[in-house]
Amino acid sequence: MPTSTVLSLFTIATGLVLAGLWLGQHVNLLPIDASANAPVYDELFKVLFSIGAILFLGIVGLIVYSLLRFRRRASDLGDGIAMEGNLPLEILWTAIPAIVVLFVGIYSYDIYERMGGMAPLNDHSAHAMQASGEDTRTWGGISPAVIDAQAGVEALPVEVTAMQFAFIFHYPDANITSGELHVPVGQPVVLRMKANDVIHAFWVPQFRLKQDVIPGQPTMLSFTATRPGHYPIVCAELCGPYHGGMRSNVIVDEPETFADWVARNSPAPAPITPTPVAS
Ligand code: CUA
């Protein structure tokens, strides 16, 4: 291959990579980020978007170039050149996708681990606790106590019940049942989720979190909200005719506003009835 061709190929490849990286960093398709693990997820998304952009520009560019450069000319009635095999090219187009796929796989695993996805598997105290029967009420094999300890701050437990076609939130500590999820900003929240009928999925795009809610198999999701606001909770699993309407809201409040909400919604203490005096 002449040096000039190698040079121009190298220049095109470099340009493609730079364009892809630029697009990955500057095109933002994601909604606002509102949880502690959102930046970690977004990092992975940017890398995947960059790789996708490089492949898209490269492939579409090559197709357009070939359409123009190798199109049939008016006077050309013959067949194309018969070509068979090109070992270096075949090695190259096998090696590049293999490296890309391997990199994406390892990097995704790393992100999953950083988001706490592997925590229950690696935490031996969780297994020990289950084995000793100390905490029999584990959710999806994860002990709530373990999650709390990992976060370093006391986590707010919320029980989520999914049913056709609503999410119901129950705060066991304050004994509040709500149709909307209220959480304080900056405090870890542990959702213990169960489904009454069919499989649903709890999804908050702004938190970059999604978890299936499965009948007969409780699941768990923990997060820390980082930005006060109202965000949609969407059921992301086709669960029946009104699946599209199975939505709720998560309201992230400042800690004082949240405490206020808890105080206002806690059931009133039972009135003290005077003991009837025997006459
Ligand atoms: Cu519940 Cu879709």
Q: How many helices (H) and strands (E) does the chain have?
A: 7, 10
Residue with CA closest to ligand 1 atom 1: 200
Fold of 138-265: Immunoglobulin-like (2.60.40)
Distance from C-alpha of 110 to C-alpha of 66, rounded to nearest angstrom: 39
Tens digits of per-residue pLDDT, 134-154?
Answer: 343 444 444 443 344 444 578
Q: Are 215 and 196 in contact (CB under 8 A)?
A: yes
Task: Report the nearest atom of ligand 1 relative to the CA of 243.
Answer: 2
Task: Report the nearest atom of ligand 1 relative to the CA of 235.
Answer: 2
Provide residues with CB under 6 Å of ligand 1.
165, 200, 235, 237-239, 243, 246
What spacing in Å lies between the alpha carbon of 202 and ligand 1's midpoint? 8
What spacing in Å lies between the alpha carbon of 167 and ligand 1's midpoint? 9
Identify which of 223, 166, 225 has the alpha carbon closest to the alpha carbon of residue 198.
Answer: 166
Tens digits of per-residue pLDDT, 169-179?
Answer: 999 988 889 99
Residue 37's SS3 state is coil
Provide the whole-model pTM. 0.74
Residue 141 phi, psi dihedral angles, 5° rounding: 85, 0
What spacing in Å lies between the alpha carbon of 33 and ligand 1's midpoint? 23
Task: Report the nearest atom of ligand 1 relative to the CA of 239.
Answer: 2
Identify which of 142, 108, 110 has the alpha carbon closest to the alpha carbon of residue 125.
Answer: 142
Across 63-67, 85-89, 113-117, 195-199, least confident range? 113-117
Q: Are 35 and 223 in contact (CB under 8 A)?
A: yes
Supply the mean pLDDT for the chain. 84
What spacing in Å lies between the alpha carbon of 161 and ligand 1's midpoint? 12
Q: Are 144 and 126 in contact (CB under 8 A)?
A: no
Task: Report the nearest atom of ligand 1 relative to the CA of 165.
Answer: 1
What spacing in Å lies between the alpha carbon of 168 and ligand 1's midpoint? 13
Q: Are 194 and 161 in contact (CB under 8 A)?
A: yes
Task: Report the nearest atom of ligand 1 relative to the CA of 199.
Answer: 1
What spacing in Å lies between the alpha carbon of 46 and ligand 1's midpoint? 29
Task: Report the nearest atom of ligand 1 relative to the CA of 240.
Answer: 2
CA quadruple 256, 177, 203, 109: dihedral, nearest 10: 70
Across 72-81, 169-178, 197-206, 208-217, least confident range? 72-81
Over residues 110-115, mean pLDDT: 86
Check residues 102 and 273 and name the one with the higher pLDDT: 102
User: What are the boundaries of each domain within the chain?
Assistant: 7-69+88-114, 138-265
Name the DSSP class of 31.
-
Angle between helices 38-69 and 87-114 (to 10 degrees): 160
Q: Show contacts of 61-64: CB within 8 Å, 24+ apart.
A: 61/16
Residue 39's SS3 state is helix
Residue 267 Ramachandran class (φ > 0 left, ψ -120 to 50 alpha, else beta): beta
What spacing in Å lies between the alpha carbon of 237 and ligand 1's midpoint? 5
